[in-house]
Structure 1
Amino acid sequence: MPNPYRQIFKAPGAKGFAAAGFFARLPIAMAPIGIVAMLSQTHGEYWLAGAVSATFALTNAFVAPQISRLVDRRGQSAVLTPFATISVIAFLVLIVAANRDWPLWTLFAAALAAATMPSIPAMVRSRWTEIFHGRPELNTAFAFESVADELVYIAGASLSVGLSVSFFPEAGMLASTLFLAFGTAAFVLQRSTEPGIRPAGDGPAHSAIRLRSVQIVTLALIFVGAIFATAEVSSVAITKALGQPGAASLVIGVYAVGSFLIGIVIGALNLKMPLQRQLAIAVAVIAFTTLPLLFADTVPLLAVAVFVSGLAVSPTFITAFGVIERRVSPAMLTEGITWVMTGIGIGMALGSFVAGWVIDAFGPQNGFWVSVAAGFSALLTVLLGQRSLAGERRARADTAFQPAE
């Protein structure tokens, strides 16, 4: 049996844009935690570090889909270059402001401007869709991207904090900014794989978030994102309460390992079950595997429970993006994918806040009740939305596309 991952990279230009896209998306994980690591050292105030980081993350969650909407209308190279440039300049201003102790408002202003950072994972998935639309290889490509996202979150956050602590406070943010600048430039320069532009009159003019299927998947992944954040916050709190704070990084790493391994396997399979049912099964597994977390009162038990809880994460991502690819017209595909990515980010932000409040009020172990509530909320959302998520693949008139200038 041929290796399906080797097959997708035989497509002309695939290796190039996938590699560039990996480095360009590292700031997704590096920037938020990098801001916290930088400002907590330069200013010594965690509330300020968290507030500036949240300003960037939440603003980007709402701005990125609008940028992706422009990409659908005008093409990747025409839109990514100016917005990525603004983001890079703003990050550099933020670094200088932190280093030179500029007024606090400059930190927030720079974070707001930096939020114009485009959603590179959506851009990469759009290129895969352009190559493999309607073919089973697209499932493998989406699986690869989900695994790449896992690696980004594992490596990016650790790299950002490690650089800031080991060298100088701004080191993590500087590295993140360089990855964004050079990775995006390398990605944009690969014009041969850039998706074509669909004429404005050939597709709906409204936003992708108005589509029922996008709303359902985005809401479900808001709850899934909350599970991620709760697992991280609760693991840190529990290991600290058990007198083994250093074990938190191991437990969090195990969470991603389970998802990573299953994602690779799922990507190698060509499952025939309808995608909306696959999504329901994956979310059901996520929901029910949050229950053992409530009883994990030792570090080994916590590591095992977290590993099991992470097994269905990649399958959920793979099927979620597959549903969007089938239910959203090509004229708004990039925006649709970005809204789903945004849902994950919003869920992580809200999950961290709620889990932190629960832990402070009721103790470390009770933080996982937030995971349970979020898991079954995601399952209910997907089950109630099965009819909207079902349906035949939308027709794609390839002749209606124009090559990007």
Structure 2
Amino acid sequence: MRAYLTVWRLPSAPVLLLSGFAGRLPSAMVPLALLLMVQQQTGSYAVAGLASATLGIASAVMAPVLGRLADRRGPRTILLAQAAAYPLLLALLVAVVLGGAPTLAVIAASGLAGTATPLVSGTVRALWSRVDVRVRPTAFALDATATELVFVVGPSLVAVLAVLATPALALGLAAALGVGGALGIATSRTTRAYVPVAGPRSGLFSTVLSPGMPRLLLSGSALMLGFGALEVAIPAFADETGSPGMSGVLLAVWSLGSVVGGLWFGARVLSISLPRQYRLLLLGVTIGLAPLAWISSPWALGVLLFLGGTAIAPTLTVQNTLVGAMAPEHATTEAFTWLSTIAVGASAIGAAVGGGLIEGPFGVSGSLALAAAGAAGAVAITLVPGRRRDVPARGPRQPIAA
């Protein structure tokens, strides 16, 4: 607990944690709320899924571009601009959908809203990478734990509002949370004191190709592909076993295990090198996912999801720490946005392939096996030799400004 208090007492840390949590909630709320709203309005899951996917893809593609701008000019202007544009474009999206506009207009409006998604996650992680190296792992652990909570709280809020009112209200709440989070971070002392690090002009993929980054991003992609398959398999498993109402509970239990594991891990001080920690934690995730394909009871699945989930937030904590250490100092925000972008894409692919396996002869077990295979692939990728970047125990980055 003392480690967490140390982080909490850092200048602007409460703002980064609380505003970062609020600003990330739209990423877990808007796709689901949009899916429900479009399906209710059009009666088509195909159109609804296309609109939700377009929003996610637009956000993922735009993030590295905005991350590069944030590294060069500071994130404050970008966050303020997005705080102004985001609610307007979400309002336009709601108007287009509820107004019965053609499918093409719905897709276009979804894409526009996605491009304005506040650059909260990449900014917060980039700022955490500037804290004292002694507390940086704990800060990233808190960040990873908060991210896991986002995907528990966000869908729950959408579900409640969709039942009691309308999915459009959930989009309105998401807009307010996104604006609040972006403004909180943009106006914090840390962001106002942010000084960009000068660096050479470089190509579009130069940050991705920095020493160590390709393997890290590829392993993260394999892991997220597995998670995407699992997120589809869990509701299908609950439905197949005659307990469709358990799907939300099982997903929440999985995330709760990650939260518990993240809080435990963040308070530990380990002497093992970060790459080795990452490899061992990925192995732990793989071991946790391996038996799921042979489970037939939702209660047994819930227990295993909780236990296996305890390795997820620690894995993401070390992953973020490695990105902060490997990325060029003048491109930290961009590096974190690339991590998010690749994770979104890989998760979407995993969900699509997992859904195909569920509909095919392999059934739900096939999708659960794919989840374990993705994690195992991530472990294998970390074993591939590659260029390394030596990172000192205490890097040249400055602590968060007072």
User: TM-score if structure 1 supplies the norm length?
Assistant: 0.92
Change (3 A) 1:369 1:397: closer
Deviation of 1:193 (Å): 4.2
Deviation of 1:247 (Å): 1.3
**Equivalent pair of 1:83/1:118 in contact (CA under 8 Å):** yes
Specify the code of the residue in structure 2 equivalent to 1:130.
R
- Per-residue Cα deviation, 1:43-89 (whole angstroms, up to 9, x for no partner): 22111110000011122112111111110001011222224433332
Q: Residue 167 of structure 1 aligns with which residue?
A: 165
Q: Residue 317 of structure 1 aligns with which residue?
A: 316
Equivalent-residue separation in structure 2 for 1:157 and 1:347 (angstroms): 20
Equivalent-residue separation in structure 2 for 1:85 and 1:381 (angstroms): 41
Task: Count how many residue pairs are aligned between Structure 1 and Structure 2.
Answer: 396
Name stretches of at least 5 consecutive residues in structure 1 with no aligned partner. none
Equivalent-residue separation in structure 1 for 2:388 and 2:360 (angstroms): 39
Specify the code of the residue in structure 2 equivalent to 1:175.
L
**Equivalent pair of 1:226/1:347 in contact (CA under 8 Å):** yes
Q: Secondary structure in 1 aligned to 2:40?
A: helix
- Per-residue Cα deviation, 1:192-216 (whole angstroms, up to 9, x for no partner): 4443111244x75654112242222
Which of 163, 173, 183 matches 1:185? 183
Specify the code of the residue in structure 2 equivalent to 1:169.
P
Verify: 1:256 aligned to 2:252, yes or no.
no
Equivalent-residue separation in structure 2 for 1:307 and 1:9 (angstroms): 27
Matches within 5 A, 1:138-217: 138-194=136-192, 195-201=194-200, 207-217=206-216
Equivalent-residue separation in structure 2 for 1:398 and 1:231 (angstroms): 37
Equivalent-residue separation in structure 1 for 2:55 and 2:38 (angstroms): 13
Q: Residue 91 of structure 2 aligns with which residue?
A: 92
Verify: 1:289 aligned to 2:288, yes or no.
yes
Equivalent-residue separation in structure 2 for 1:241 and 1:204 (angstroms): 51
Q: Residue 44 of structure 2 aligns with which residue?
A: 45
Q: Residue 357 of structure 2 aligns with which residue?
A: 358
Matches within 5 A, 1:362-373: 362=361, 363-373=363-373
Equivalent-residue separation in structure 1 for 2:183 and 2:119 (angstroms): 14
Q: Residue 22 of structure 2 aligns with which residue?
A: 23
Deviation of 1:155 (Å): 0.6
Change (3 A) 1:247 1:398: closer
Deviation of 1:170 (Å): 0.7
Name stretches of at least 5 consecutive residues in structure 2 with no aligned partner. none
Deviation of 1:398 (Å): 6.0
Moved more, 52-61 or 160-169: 160-169
Specify the code of the residue in structure 1 equivalent to 2:77.
A
Moved more, 361-370 or 206-215: 206-215
Deviation of 1:191 (Å): 3.7
- Per-residue Cα deviation, 1:288-320 (whole angstroms, up to 9, x for no partner): 222110111111221122223312111110111
Q: Residue 130 of structure 1 aligns with which residue?
A: 130
Q: Secondary structure in 1 aligned to 2:11?
A: coil
Q: Residue 76 of structure 1 aligns with which residue?
A: 75
Q: Secondary structure in 2 aligned to 1:130?
A: coil
Task: Please tell me the root mean square deviation across aligned C-alpha atoms, in Å.
Answer: 2.1
**Equivalent pair of 2:229/2:354 in contact (CA under 8 Å):** yes
Change (3 A) 1:278 1:250: same
Deviation of 1:177 (Å): 1.2
Change (3 A) 1:228 1:119: farther
Equivalent-residue separation in structure 2 for 1:106 and 1:331 (angstroms): 38
Matches within 5 A, 1:260-279: 260-279=259-278
**Equivalent pair of 1:259/1:313 in contact (CA under 8 Å):** yes
Equivalent-residue separation in structure 1 for 2:255 and 2:397 (angstroms): 38
- Per-residue Cα deviation, 1:76-110 (whole angstroms, up to 9, x for no partner): 11222224433332211101111211222221111
Verify: 1:383 aligned to 2:386, yes or no.
no
Specify the code of the residue in structure 2 equivalent to 1:284.
L
Change (3 A) 1:398 1:391: closer
Q: Residue 220 of structure 1 aligns with which residue?
A: 219
**Equivalent pair of 1:24/1:184 in contact (CA under 8 Å):** yes
Deviation of 1:396 (Å): 5.6
Specify the code of the residue in structure 1 equivalent to 2:275.
Q
Q: Secondary structure in 2 aligned to 1:209?
A: coil
Q: Secondary structure in 2 aligned to 1:220?
A: helix
Q: Residue 3 of structure 2 aligns with which residue?
A: 4
Q: Which runs of 4+ in 1 moved over 4 A?
A: 203-206, 394-399
Deviation of 1:390 (Å): 5.9
Q: Residue 336 of structure 2 aligns with which residue?
A: 337
Specify the code of the residue in structure 2 equivalent to 1:69.
R
Deviation of 1:113 (Å): 1.2
- Per-residue Cα deviation, 1:161-217 (whole angstroms, up to 9, x for no partner): 32122202311111111111222112211144443111244x756541122422222
**Equivalent pair of 1:279/1:316 in contact (CA under 8 Å):** yes
**Equivalent pair of 1:227/1:370 in contact (CA under 8 Å):** yes
User: TM-score if structure 2 supplies the norm length?
Assistant: 0.93
Change (3 A) 1:85 1:191: same
Q: Residue 104 of structure 2 aligns with which residue?
A: 105
**Equivalent pair of 2:185/2:191 in contact (CA under 8 Å):** no
**Equivalent pair of 1:88/1:181 in contact (CA under 8 Å):** yes
Specify the code of the residue in structure 1 equivalent to 2:225.
A
**Equivalent pair of 1:160/1:172 in contact (CA under 8 Å):** yes
Moved more, 123-132 or 261-270: 123-132
Q: Residue 326 of structure 1 aligns with which residue?
A: 325
